[in-house]
Chain A
Amino acid sequence: MFSKFRLVSFSLKRSELSYWILLGLLLCMLTFSFFKAWNSYLAQEQSALQTLYELGVTQSQINLELLTVYRTPHNYDSLAMETAYLHQQLMLLEQKVEYLPLPSALMQLFQQIQKEAEQFQADIEEFKATNSILVNSWQYLPSRIKETVTELSAYPDLQSQLTRLSQGLFAYKVAPANRDTVDEREQIVSLINQIYQNLGSISLSIANREAIEALLDHGIIIVHLQHYLGRQVLQFQQSPLKNISQNTEQELQQMLFEQLYWITRYRILFACTALGLLGYGGYLYRLRYRNQRLRAIALDLESKVNKRTRQLNQALVDVKRSQAFLVQSEKMSSLGELAAGISHEINNPTSFILGNLIHAKEYVTTLFRVIQLYQAECPSPSPKLLETIESEDLDFIQNDFYQLLNSMDNGANRISKIVQSLRIFSRLDESGSKIVDIHEGLESTLMLLQHRLCGHPARPKIEIYREYGDLDQIECHSELLNQVFINLLNNSIDALDNYWEKKQGLSLKVNGLSSSALPVPGSASVQPLQNSHIVDKEPCTLAKAKASVSCLISEKPDIEMVSETDWQPRIWIKTQHPQPGWVQIRIRDNGIGISEDIHTKVFDPFFTTKHVGEGTGLGLSTSYQIVVDQHKGELVLKSAEGQGCLFIISIPCQKML
């Protein structure tokens, strides 16, 4: 599962760039289509188109109104209203078009519309005014001519001229507006001119003259305006304004259509892009959600694995430690039993020897006194006896025999002490925690290690500096603590051996730093036997050591200050109460030391720097378990390579009274 997640995570990371590219692309498309689809002028253009359309409608309406009022008495309100509409729409159109970004052709069309519209309005006003006059003349003229003709009965010439004028005008009136009426007009005009000339030659009353002049005025108006207005009406029907506004409408419509065509497509594009973006966003969110869940699962798994690994490591350490402890304690218990058995068995013969030696001395004294007495009583022994006495050197025997017995006494005493030490060390006769004297345990341990402390050809004797404080008796498992002492002291001795060998350049035996708990049986058991015959020369008895060291107790020579040439193998043992309720035993040597790289490992079970078969790797780990686990104390190592090492054992104690 974990590996699966890592695969997913990897693929996501690799495709990060493509995510960004796709998002950027979508955004670009979105922006592009938005600005393409967004035409803020569209509504205004549509509205302008609408106005143009309404303008056309209004024009048609105006034309209709023009036809209605042409030559008929009518009111002009509707026409004025439509004209006002036209004006209104033109102003609206001007406003709407003013700020539109239109092509110049369209712009010109709009300007033309405005120009033509001004003319159109002026024409309409003119039409209205002249049409009123024409209508008035038509209304007035027929009845008026009739009246005048009847009044002018005295002037038949004038009468007939006026009658012809009336007929001519009537014919002219009913003629269609689009017919070419030049001839008729010319006839009427010449008739009017004739009447004018007649008026000049005839004497008439002022009223009649004015009446005739007025008639002629109306005649002129009809001739002048009728055809003109008719043509005007026709022109209105095909006014350039109409054409131009229609053209403009078409152009604008075309433009709008094209704009709409594209805008619609861009809107669709925008909508698609937006939807795509939304979908893609949703997809990304889903991916991200899944990814987060995966990551959470992975993290959970990882922590679980770590936890399990820690637990397993701890269990492994525990198992190794208990295994080591088991091995060690089994070994020690069998060793202790052996030692106890041996000491018990040896104790009796030794006491026989010690007890019998007293009698042996008495008997020997008695024997020698008997011999001396025998020599005195019998001064001349037989030559054969004399010869034997001479050859056997009886005097020497007599002297040496006492020495021999003394020596045997010493040896037997040492045996008895060793046995006693063994018993103290193993404490097999006692079990559980006891109130003990730490110093006693230390001394018995040193006693057991005596054979290793002694000098031998390969190395000078190791000096022991004791710095015993005023310790209270504490409650502890003394046999276990003794094991710790013997392990640590063995290590120190090994370190000193190595250092000496290194200094002497000897390659007899290259021992690394030892963490083995026990002296290697092969080498440990042989050496004391080799030295046993020089027993009485042995300088390092316990008593002697005590005496020789006592002056050095307070001294703590600094390891660094000892020069290479003056170097002697030394071990310092110090006991104290560092604080109330605690006992501290510091064992220190000036041996080869332990490099700092392996400080953390030295207490691990089965860790050893010695060759295969030489160390078990159990010594320090067992010591650690005894001190830390069983006595709830502390075991601290302080060392550096080439500078010796210091083990500090701290044990809590109840103060015994």
Chain B
Amino acid sequence: MTGGILMRRQWYHLPMAGLMAIAVVGLTLLFRPPSTTDFAQAYSPQNYEEMIATVETIGQEPIQPLPSNIQWPPEQVELGKHLFNETNLSRNQQMSCATCHLLQSGGDDGLPVAIDVEQLPMDFNTPTVLNSGFNFRQFWNGRATSLEEQMAETLLNPREMGSSWESALSFLRNNRSYQQAFQKAYDGNISKATVSHAIATFQRSLITPSPFDAYLRGDQQAISADAKLGYQHFKNYGCIACHQGVNIGGNIFQPFGAIRKYRSFFGLNGNTVTGEESGSDGSRSDIFQKEMLQHGPSSEHFKVPSLRNVALTAPYLHNGNISNLQDVIQMMASAQLDRTIAPEHVHQIEAFLNSLTGHLPGEQVGEQDV
């Protein structure tokens, strides 16, 4: 009367139950609905292209007003602000982002070139952090494609903050108030990604609507008559060819001495003009090669800087050579446009540039030059 497989209770139940379970689990896994990405997130631009996508195009003007309807998660912005001012992230614990980017005076340091940890001059003038979210690339030579990349490089650069991710993260992870802030903003996740994202989000939130934006939106009284004339001169002289877009620059590279540089192609400086076309032999122009875009500074090519708040960010140019707005207008006209501008026009253009000075929402940006 001894049974076989159907009789032996313990030998029958186990494999059968296992097989059934495998079958059911397998069916569930294989026939699960396709995963859908969550598109229903609150809209807050995360990078340059999304920032630009928020711009409302008004009219046919080459300059567009700053968007006014962007919302960022306030916890992340608040956290980013703290991190922006946090000196403990640097190696000597004395330097923060805000050391060089003074929000109250135009988002830069007011020096010709930046000063490193050892109080030695560095290579370039400090760009402003205001409206930097509308710059298509970061740094003078555009080697960083996002604010996050730029922030990480600055943190790790031994001449700047000189820190490391390990020490920065360990400081943040051991700090109670940061733990709470990260808990609110990122569910307690303290990592490279969240730290850089918080700071970048704070930077993207630094948008300074100006009287000129109001003018572009139709408020004819927002700027002075001089400024309006200055805007016309700005367009007529050709400044607008490079300083355009929502950030009035910041979306294009240009070589220094753009016009005159082409003379050499024709050998006009003492040589015979050949008429040879650039790149006609099949080789491409070497001036915008990848190396320039991604690595090291080029002595010739720079990202066209934004002109927003330009009145606050003296001294000017990549090396801070010129400290006066009128001078720099003249200088750029002669270097880039190969012409001189009449003094009254310079004055009007200056008025126009002054109308670009904006202020952070809820904050009064200092009006005086440093």
Q: A residues within 8 Å of B by Cβ?
A: 9, 12-13, 15-16, 19-20, 23, 26-27, 30, 34, 37-38, 43, 73-85, 87-88, 118-119, 121-123, 125-126, 128-129, 132-133, 135-137, 139-140, 185-186, 189, 192-193, 196, 214, 216-218, 220-221, 223-225, 227-228, 267, 270-271, 273-275, 277-278, 281, 284-285, 287-288, 291-292, 295, 298
Contacts and interface: CB of A to CB of B under 8 A. Distances in A.
A27 B3 contact: no
Given A192-B266, A224-B277, 8 more contacts: A9-B1, A30-B23, A73-B241, A77-B246, A81-B49, A122-B290, A129-B252, A224-B265
B225 interface: no
A133 B259 contact: yes
Contacts of B246: 75, 77
B273 A221 contact: no
Nearest to B15: A23
B12 interface: yes
Contact of A13 (B3, B15, B238): B3
Given A136-B238, A220-B265, A126 B20 contact: no
A270 B29 CA distance: 11
Nearest to B252: A128
A123 B288 contact: yes
A278 B20 CA distance: 6
Nearest to A285: B16
A568 B2 CA distance: 60
A23 B275 contact: no
Interface string B358-369: 000000000000
A26 B19 contact: yes
B70 interface: no
Contacts of B22: 27, 30, 34
A76 B5 contact: no
Interface in B11-40: 12, 15-16, 19-20, 22-24, 26-27, 29-31, 34-35
Contacts of B293: 121-122, 125
Nearest to B242: A132
Nearest to A298: B1
A34 B241 contact: no
A515 to B, nearest CB: 41
A125 B6 contact: no
A586 B133 CA distance: 124
B337 interface: yes
A100 to B, nearest CB: 18
30 contacts: A12-B4, A16-B4, A27-B22, A30-B19, A34-B22, A38-B30, A75-B62, A75-B63, A80-B136, A81-B52, A84-B52, A122-B293, A125-B293, A132-B242, A132-B258, A135-B241, A139-B236, A185-B275, A185-B277, A189-B266, A189-B273, A214-B259, A214-B339, A220-B262, A228-B280, A274-B24, A277-B20, A284-B5, A288-B12, A295-B1
B252 A291 contact: no
A536 B10 CA distance: 89
A601 to B, nearest CB: 32
A136 B254 CA distance: 13
A277 B19 contact: yes
B211 to A, nearest CB: 20
A81 B53 contact: yes
B244 A27 contact: no
Contact of A217 (B27, B52, B259): B259
B26 A270 contact: yes
Majority SS at the chain B contact face? loop
Residue of B20, B48, B338 with highest tally of chain A CB at under 10 A: B338
B236 to A, nearest CB: 8
Contacts of A185: 275, 277
Interface in B251-266: 251-255, 258-260, 262-263, 265-266
A217 B242 CA distance: 18
Interface string B36-78: 0000000000011100110100000011100000000000000
Interface of B: 1-7, 12, 15-16, 19-20, 22-24, 26-27, 29-31, 34-35, 47-49, 52-53, 55, 62-64, 136, 145, 235-236, 238, 240-242, 244-247, 251-255, 258-260, 262-263, 265-266, 268, 272-273, 275, 277-280, 284-285, 287-290, 292-293, 301, 337-339
A75 B244 contact: yes
Contacts of B48: 80-81, 84
B300 to A, nearest CB: 11
A267 B32 CA distance: 12
Contacts of B260: 217
Nearest to B46: A88
Contacts of A140: 238, 337, 339
Residue of B47, B245, B301 with highest tally of chain A CB at under 10 A: B245
Given A9-B1, A81-B48, A121-B293, A277 B263 contact: no
Residue of A135, A221, A292 with highest tally of chain B CB at under 10 A: A221
Contacts of A277: 19-20, 23
A192 B273 contact: yes
A75 B259 contact: no
A9 B3 contact: yes
B19 A224 contact: no
Contacts of B27: 270-271, 274
B77 to A, nearest CB: 22
B64 A77 contact: yes
A584 B26 CA distance: 83
A26 B15 CA distance: 12
A281 B20 contact: yes
A328 B322 CA distance: 151
B3 A12 contact: yes
B273 A193 contact: yes
